Amino acid sequence: MPVLELKLDPNEDVRQAILNPLLAFNDSKAGQDGYKPLAILLRDDEGGIQGGLWAKCYYDWLFVELLFVPEVMRGQQLGAKLLAQAEQWAKQQSCVGIWLDTFSFQAPGFYEKQGYSVFGTLERYPPETHQRIFLRKLL
């Protein structure tokens, strides 16, 4: 009989033990996902990484997992440039669109100005008055 184990310090091996059969199941139902990672780095004058964009393409959609521009670099359209470069790459990969999520206190208005539209929200996340907002842009 299966046993449930609550593990509060899981490592990558545990994650892979769950992920690998899930990916195999997904592939059997939806075909190969075509996974490709993407990073667009924002470097300072000394070459250090100060921010950028981290995304992954699979099932013909690009998911922007992380986008960060340090406060001292804001106002130079760097966020828009990062997204535009990611969108160009996604088009080259024949992606249908791009999706991402942000918190209500982060940058939903910025993404809407870049042509993204809200397709879902998670209320009270973080608690109280905030939301997690999901946006997409068709290419």
Which CATH number belongs to the domain containing residue 132 in this structure? 3.40.630.30
In a domain, 54, yes or no: yes
In a domain, 84, yes or no: yes
> Is residue 132 included in any domain, yes or no?
yes
d(CA 30, CA 44): 42
Positions of the chain with pLDDT under 50: none
pLDDT of residue 128: 87
Would 107 be classed as within a structural domain? yes
pLDDT tens string 94-129? 999 999 999 999 999 999 999 999 999 999 999 989
Residue-level pLDDT at 78: 97
Q: How many CA atoms lie within 13 A of 99 on its CB side?
A: 10
**Which structural domain range is residue 47 located in?**
32-138
Domain assignment present for 104: yes
- Number of compact structural domains in the chain: 1
The answer to whether residue 56 is domain-embedded is yes
